[in-house]
A = this chain, B = another copy of it.
Amino acid sequence: MLSKSQNKLLRSLQRKKARQEHSLFLVEGGKAVSELLGSGWPLHSLYVSDSFAAAHRVALTGCKVPVTPCSVEALTAAGSLVSNRDAIAVARIPAAGVPQMQPGQWVLALDRINDPGNLGTLLRIADWYGIRQLVCTEDTVDLYNPKVISASMGSFLRVSLVHTDLHAWLAGLPEQTPVLGAYLTGTSVHQLSGDLQAGVLLMGSEAHGIDAGLESLVTQKITIPSFGAAESLNVAVATAIICDNLRRITG
Contacts and interface: CB of A to CB of B under 8 A. Distances in A.
A246 to B, nearest CB: 10
Interface stretch (A9-17, A135-143, A171-179, A233-241): A233-241
A189 to B, nearest CB: 8
From A153, A189, A233, A245, residue with most partner B Cβ within 10 Å: A233
Contacts of A195: none
B190 A230 contact: no
Contact of A131 (B130, B131, B228, B240): B228
A247 B227 contact: yes
A225 interface: yes
A201 to B, nearest CB: 14
A228 B121 contact: no
Contacts of A121: 234, 237
A124 interface: yes
How many protomers of this protein does the assembly include?
Answer: 2
Contacts of A126: 228
Which bracket fits the contact residues of A? 35 or more
A150 interface: no
Contact of A240 (B127, B237, B248): B237
Interface string A208-251: 00000000000000001111111111101100110011011000
B228 A244 contact: no
B155 A190 contact: no
Given A126-B228, A127-B228, A153-B231, 5 more contacts: A121-B234, A121-B237, A130-B226, A153-B230, A236-B237
